[in-house]
Amino acid sequence: GGGLSAEVVKVLDEAEDVEAGMRQLRLLDPAAYYLHGQHIRTMLIDRISADVARVGTPAAQAQLSTLEAKAIEGQLRQLCHLHKEGLISDDVLREQQQKAAMHICASSALRTRLHH
């Protein structure tokens, strides 16, 4: 339950880039933005990555790498903040940081996989 409204889904489907999509989401559905922002951002990145991979221009590929790096940066910043607030433990923080590092290494592999 608690899915996104059709309006929000449409906006996310049509978002040209992650930040624009997230801004729209915050306007349309602040609760979803705060509760599921991280998950929705990931979904947006996945969708846009897939679109970019289909188009596959070098410029688009470069933009994708920047997008991914930016998103991971934002995620890590948020994690550090949560950690400071005492909302997540050292272990969780470390685990997430390792995951992010792995994700950065995997993103080139991901791109190759998306071409199938």
Pairwise pLDDT comparison (47 vs 28), residue with the higher score: 28
Query: Does residue 115 register a pLDDT over 60?
Result: no
The answer to pTM > 0.75 is: no
pLDDT tens digits along 48-99: 777 766 766 677 777 777 777 788 788 888 888 888 888 888 888 888 778 7
Q: What is the pLDDT of residue 2?
A: 57
As a whole-number percent, the residues of the chain with pLDDT over 90 amount to 6
Q: Under a CB-based contact definition with an 8 Å cutoff, are residues 76 and 64 in contact?
A: no
**pLDDT category, 24, cuts 50, 70, 90?**
very high
Distance CA(34)–CA(78), nearest Å, equals: 12
Distance CA(108)–CA(112), nearest Å, equals: 7
Q: What is the pLDDT of residue 99?
A: 76
Name residue, tokens 């998103």: 71
C-alpha closest to that of 12 among 55, 35, 61, 46: 46
Q: What is the pLDDT of residue 113?
A: 56
Pairwise pLDDT comparison (101 vs 73), residue with the higher score: 73
Residue 85 in tokens = 């607030």
Q: What is the pLDDT of residue 104?
A: 58
Residue 41 in tokens = 């951002």
